Structure 1
Amino acid sequence: MRLVLLFLLITGCLQAKAQSANVRLEDYIYNDRITTVLLYPGIDDLENPRRLISAPIIPIQNTFPLILEFDDLSASFVGYRAKIIHCNADWSKSSLNDIEFTYQYNEYPVVTYEQSFSTKVPYFHYKLEIPKLKLSGNYVVYVYSENDRKLVLSRRFMIYEPGVTIDAEARFSQGIQQQFSDQQIDFKVDYKGFQLNAPQTDLKVVIRKNMRWDQIKTGFKPTNVRPFDKTLEYTFFNLENTFPGGNEFRYFDSRTLSGRGYGIESMERTSEFTKLFLFPDKPRSEGVYIQVDDLNGQYIVDQTESGRGSVEADYSPAVFTLRTPEDPDATYYVNGAFNLWQLNDRNKMAFNPDINAYQAEIFLKQGVINYDYTVVKGQDKKPDEGYVEGNYVATENDYDILVYYRPQAGRSDLLVGYRTVEWNRRR
């Protein structure tokens, strides 16, 4: 009996190590049946739809947890468990042991779940409170099935401990050619009361646009250290702190399926689902910027009739159409937080010669969904949103400034400064 227990223990440990090694330390979905993965601060009513557009970052002395939600479209109950990984500033795995950043055993059963109610598409909705952790920094939570221990999703989040103060502002780019298209983030760091041994190199600064890890800049070094004032000044001359402005995001409203919401041209009802055909879109890279209120690429899950979007919002195929000539060297995608900003087969578009336009059909939960169009072309195969959407300096955007510090003899990067800078906010 002891040998059997020892064998099971060793096997479980080996499986856990193999599983951890396969985790992608990024926002990722590993199983097609998993969708609508949300991670947000549980500050307000957990059915308030606007909770979903807040960044998954909280202070270490928080009185509220982060909440992870996701749906399983297999329509049958599956037991899930979650684990947490501590990461460095560059999102590589830190060398810390679990006991150094967790208060309890690092394996958390997902015990809160509900079955969808009154929807054409059945699903199970799961919810997990991220447990309180000991250290600030970058983290990845990943979820796996209890049955086969296969990964189903991973999501990034952050915990910060105020140590330094960030003074920052957004403005027009100082670049002559970029002054009508790009936005510039100027900042300085005040470290009064925070011990730095080498102020020139001790801090790592990251600027992130609209909560997106595919749009960050880092590697900043202070251009001036004022030791008496305990201030680090960051002044740039080569546009290191400049971002393309982009454009306001397109959106459609499917919070009710009893009629056509904003952006929906027609609906097709079947016994399986309600299919949505969005109004055809056109490129916006040339022309005049038009002010539109958006969610900076995020999306809200909601259902008008009940107000319980978590379990009463239905899933609908949405057909996106972009009217632009075929380009054999280009691949078009419908992009947005609804797909974790990933470019894959789910949001890839195909050219339809019958209507001379690119189209994609994507299965989405009811709500208000922001999206834009991204093109991959050229030798570098670098995604380009400006190719279709354009870049305009007046576009409303949010920028996060994250400051990391590794103590002397420390084995991980801690997040000691956090500030959000709003540009041209109108609401």
Structure 2
Amino acid sequence: MTKIFYKITLLLFFVSSFTFAQAEKEITPPYNIKTVSFIQNEQNIVPIINLGEGFQLQFDDLFGNEANYYYEIIHCDYNWVPSGLPKNEYLEGFDNQRIQNYSNSFNTLQIYSHYKLAIPNQFTLQLKISGNYMIKILDENKEIVFSRKLILVEDLVTVPAQVKRARTANSMDTKQNLEFTIRSKTINFQNPLKNVKVVLLQNGQFNSSIQNVAPQYTIGNELIYKYDTPTQFWAGNEFLYFENKDIRSAANNVAKIDSDTAIYGSRLYTSAARTNFPYSFSQDINGNFVVKNINAFNSEIESDYAWVYFSLSAPTFSLNKDIYVTGMFNNYSLTDEYKMEYNAKKATYEKAILIKQGFTNFQYTVADNKGVIDVENSIDGNFYQTENEYTILVYYREGIDRYDRVVGKGMANSINSTN
């Protein structure tokens, strides 16, 4: 009996350990939750924030019934596995509290309730340590509605970086290479191959990040990363955009307004696949968006929603894969809500998406049915001249540490790239 009990206990331990070790993944919100964004200084940002700074997580609920939503904050390691730290070690105050700051839309055809979760607030006074965090939004039954990644950064290292044209012959015209150095006056990098990790991001997109790149070599306390291929990104093309700040007028890239429906419709000009065209520069905001109603005082609750009709002409696209409309407005989500459908009569790919009015960057993303993105065969091609913003995140964990700290970040833009 004792041996059987021991085996059962051991089995339960391994099962629970395996369950605990599962990495946290962002959960896509349901149809009624829209315009999820992190806000600082009244602007949408990529959720990489300096430790100690305040921010807001905002979203709309199209049901507009003032539903009760709660939030939970989970600290994670480099691989987004929960770190296992007690909450009082990374959070001063409490989470699992109801979001109390919300307002209903005003003077809009599409009703919605607009929610603001501010950190710090009267319950959650401070996030005390750096690292990866997952913020979960829960309903009144404490079931997860959606979740978003958040990264808090310390300022203990400097990361000078430069974007260069790829050196490998077969990718000179289509890729960009990131070279950088990690320096610190406060951290003595002992065993950096084990204790230091980096994450490289292009335009703040987590789904195309480069990870687990070790230093190529060290000079004193400097870690040097000057690889030819491990730090290369497909360069992509400039983001497309549309503007409907005045929802009743056809503006930039909006060909026609539908006004005889329950809510307005913005029909965009048909986009041509740019992969076989020469590169042409156009100003973008690297995938971001701005909620704006030029006829309103408070755009947060007075901006309306419109059906935005996307149309893409891609006659040479023959892959057995899908095309999605993505951007920061939908967190680059690859779900059926954003998957384009082929119209054989018009020979175009089409999709109607409900989007809050303003100025919106977007792109066409090719992916298979498992969500694996095919950047190489991008609809709009890859051009080394493309302007991209790069972020280098530096994680550090000494042997005695119990969690992965983010000790610094570096930024670089390809507009200043060299050969």
What is the TM-score when the length of structure 1 is the normalising length?
A: 0.87
1:224 aligns with 2:213: no
Paired residue secondary structure (2:301): helix
Q: Does 2:385 correspond to 1:405?
A: no
Q: What amino acid sits opposite 2:136 in the alignment?
A: Y
Q: Secondary structure at the match of 1:165?
A: coil
Aligned residue for 1:177, secondary structure, equals helix
SS of equivalent residue, structure 2 residue 233: strand
Aligned residues: 394
Q: 1:289 and 2:288 equivalent?
A: no
1:92-148: CA deviation from partner (whole Å, max 9, x where unpaired): 2112111110101222321111110000000000001123211001111111112x2
1:388 equivalent in structure 2: 379
Q: Is the 8 A contact 2:36 2:330 kept in 1?
A: no
Give the deviation of 1:379 after TM superposition: 10
Q: What letter corresponds to residue 28 of structure 1 in structure 2?
A: I
**Deviation larger for 189-198 or 97-106:** 189-198
Aligned residue for 1:174?
167
The alignment status of 1:137 with 2:131, answered yes or no, reads yes
SS at match of 1:383: coil
Q: Partner of 1:14 in structure 2?
A: none
- Write out per-residue CA displacement over residues 14-68 of structure 1, whole angstroms, 9 at most, x where no aligned residue: xxx9xx98x9834433422111101132xx3x3xxxx11x222222243xx1111
1:6 corresponds in structure 2 to none
Kindly report which structure 2 residues correspond to 1:15-54, keeping only aligned pairs within 5 A, or say none: 25-41=24-40, 44=41, 46=42, 51-52=43-44, 54=45
**Partner of residue 104 from structure 1, selected from 83, 88, 93:** 93
Which residue does the alignment assign to 2:188? 195
Q: Give me the whole-angstrom Cα distance separating, in 2, the residues matched to 1:112 and 1:385.
A: 44
Please state whether the residue corresponding to 1:164 is helix, strand or coil: coil
Q: Which moved more, 1:268-277 or 1:291-300?
A: 268-277
Matches of 1:194 and 1:376, distance apart in 2: 41
Q: Which residue of 1 aligns with 2:7?
A: none
Q: Identify the residue that residue 214 of structure 1 maps to in structure 2.
A: 207
Q: Give the CA deviation at 1:383.
A: 3.2
Please say which of residues 289-298 and 327-336 is displaced more in the overlay: 327-336
- How far is 1:196 from its partner? 2.9
For 2:160, what is the secondary structure of its paired residue?
strand
Equivalent-residue separation in structure 2 for 1:268 and 1:177 (angstroms): 46
Identity score, percent: 28
CA shift, 1:344, in A, is 0.8
1:1-400 to 2 correspondences below 5 Å: 25-41=24-40, 44=41, 46=42, 51-52=43-44, 54-62=45-53, 65-131=54-120, 132-146=126-140, 148-227=141-220, 230-237=221-228, 239-270=229-260, 272-325=262-315, 327=318, 329-377=320-368, 382-384=373-375, 386-400=377-391
Q: What residue is the counterpart of 1:424 in the other structure?
A: 415
**For residues 149 and 393 of structure 1, what CA distance do their matches in structure 2 show?**
47
Q: Which moved more, 1:25-34 or 1:165-174?
A: 25-34
Cα RMSD, aligned residues only: 2.4
Q: Is the partner of 1:346 in helix, strand or coil?
A: helix
**Is residue 166–residue 172 contact of structure 2 (8 Å, CA) maintained in 1?**
yes
Task: Supply the AA of the counterpart residue of 2:27.
Answer: Y
> Given the superposition, is the C-alpha separation of residues 309 and 328 from structure 1 closer, same or farther in structure 2, using an over 3 Å criterion?
same
Distance change >3 Å, CA 58–CA 225, structure 1 → 2: same
Residue 161 of structure 1 deviates from its aligned partner by 1.1
Q: By how many angstroms is 1:381 displaced?
A: 5.2
